[in-house]
């Protein structure tokens, strides 16, 4: 069994923040592979499912970013798993928007969510670094990560998330290099989204919309309209 944790902050006001791209990634994976219903467990929200023959527990901590390690630690201890059974999806300032890199062990790079995980379980786990770009000045970082993705970011964001979900089988089987290569081949947004990729983008946007649907207040708008309205 493996535990895949997406990092982010709970609540509708954070749903489309750059800091929440880890939440978005596990939600798109859950949608693509038809994971089970959301349950409250381990100081967060979990969904159970399989990718190929691998049993995966998806976890989104409800503890806020700075306490993410508490939820991950609870889940690992409950299932009597070692830290290397954990994969964490998180935003990465030092990667260009839309880029994805896998990393095993190492430091937390100043990321508060990773710092919390280090404090709770150590450093022997896999990170999936999701590029959001850097604002250019470290003084701008807090406001940058806690602001929503721009409307112009939607296409590359959706395509990156779809590409990650589409390559998740390789990640589940421990082939991180194959996973990165497959994501890179599928995520060709830098060259412009080609007509053949439009369906992929729309599918990922649909999954992304579902991932925030439960966080947004109920009203008369369609779920897709809710997503679009957040970028106006």
What pLDDT is recorded for position 193?
46
How high does pLDDT run on average in the chain? Answer: 82
- Model confidence at 215, in pLDDT bands (50, 70, 90)? very low
Under CATH, what is the fold of the domain 2-229?
Rossmann fold (3.40.50)
Helix axes 154-166, 176-186, angle to 10 degrees: 140
The DSSP bridge partners found for residue 172 are: none
The predicted model gives 18-36 an average pLDDT of: 93
pLDDT for residue 205: 56
Q: What is the pLDDT of residue 171?
A: 95
Q: Which residues are catalytic?
A: 19
pTM of the model: 0.82
Give tens-digit pLDDT for 88-114: 999 999 899 989 999 887 766 668 889
Q: Does residue 218 carry a pLDDT above 80?
A: no
Element holding 23 (H helix, E strand): helix 21-32
């Amino acid at each position: 069994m493996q535990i895949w944790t997406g990092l982010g902050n709970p609540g509708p006001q954070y749903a489309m923040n750059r800091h929440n791209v880890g939440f978005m990634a596990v939600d798109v994976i859950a949608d693509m592979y038809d994971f089970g219903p959301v349950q409250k467990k381990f100081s967060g929200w979990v969904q159970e499912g399989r990718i190929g023959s691998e049993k995966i527990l998806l976890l989104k901590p409800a503890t806020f970013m700075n306490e993410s390690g508490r939820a991950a630690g609870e889940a690992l201890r409950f299932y009597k798993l070692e830290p290397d059974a954990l994969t964490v999806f998180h935003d990465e300032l030092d990667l260009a928007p839309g880029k994805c890199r896998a990393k095993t062990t190492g430091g937390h790079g100043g990321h508060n969510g990773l710092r919390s995980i280090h404090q709770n379980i150590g450093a022997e786990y896999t990170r999936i670094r999701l590029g959001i770009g850097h604002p250019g000045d470290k003084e701008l970082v807090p406001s940058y990560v806690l602001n929503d993705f721009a409307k112009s970011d939607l296409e590359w964001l959706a395509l990156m998330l779809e590409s990650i979900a589409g390559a998740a089988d390789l990640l589940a089987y421990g082939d991180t290099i194959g996973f990165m290569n497959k994501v890179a081949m599928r995520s060709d947004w830098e060259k412009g989204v080609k007509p053949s990729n439009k369906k992929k983008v729309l599918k990922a946007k649909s999954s992304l919309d579902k991932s925030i649907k439960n966080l947004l207040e109920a009203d008369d708008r369609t779920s897709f309209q809710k997503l679009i309205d957040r970028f106006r």
